[in-house]
Amino acid sequence: MAVVRFPDEGRTVTGEAAVRETLGRVGIDYERWQPSHPVPAGAPAEAVLAAYAAEINRLKAAGGYVTADVIDVSPETPNLDAMLAKFRKEHWHDEDEVRFIVKGHGLFHIAPKGSDVVSIEMEAGDLIRVPRGTLHWFNLCGDKTVRAIRLFQDVSGWAPHYTDSGVDAGYQPVCFGVQYIPADI
């Protein structure tokens, strides 16, 4: 389940309904997806896409997405640091950024117009839709692993436009995960 934080306020939001409502207020759609049948996290991309075909097709119809793929990132990914350097600077796209986490973790920061920066720590089963034009950046978590389904309205629209604001440098890319919860509560 995703964990939402407002670092400037020291506020954390957990729980599916609260996360959905909180993100909805800043224009981010949040969903939890279940596969139509069990599929191993390491299954071929085609098998992963097939297991989530109903959800993918629903979103395609609603959002005008024309393609879906599966991206794999792990510590063994060639040129991982160079790839991550492109993601972790504040940017926006000319199309929506839609990500469903199949395996691993990811940390999105969103900088909504007129609202405090919000971080979204995502794990398997979480989907977010970041609308086109929304300022954001992305980091991996400590496992340096993420497998995600991506939906595209136009593959050429994915190119990032950087703000060079430096805002991203003010936020620690820290994922706490379940270990952040003290063991005695």
Q: Which residues of the shown chain bind Fe ion in the complex (CB under 5 A)?
A: 97
Distances (CA, A) of 79 to 86, 107, 118, 137, 169: 11, 20, 28, 19, 22
Q: How far apart (Å, rounded) are the C-alpha atoms in residues 91 and 163?
A: 6
> Looking at beta carbons only, is 51 or 135 nearer to Fe ion?
135
Smallest distance, Fe ion to C-beta of residue 138, A: 6
Please report how close the Cβ of residue 101 comes to Fe ion at its closest, in angstroms.
15
**Could you give the CA distance from residue 92 to residue 134 in angstroms, rounded to a whole number?**
6
Supply the minimum distance, in Å, between the C-beta of residue 136 and Fe ion: 6
Strands laid side by side in the 29-32 sheet: 29-32, 126-130, 97-104, 146-152, 67-73
- What's the closest the beta carbon of residue 87 comes to Fe ion, in angstroms? 7
CB-closest chain residue to Fe ion: 97
Q: Which is nearer to Fe ion, 97 or 168 (CB)?
A: 97
- Nearer Cβ to Fe ion (97/121): 97
By beta-carbon proximity to Fe ion, the closer residue of 95 and 97 is 97
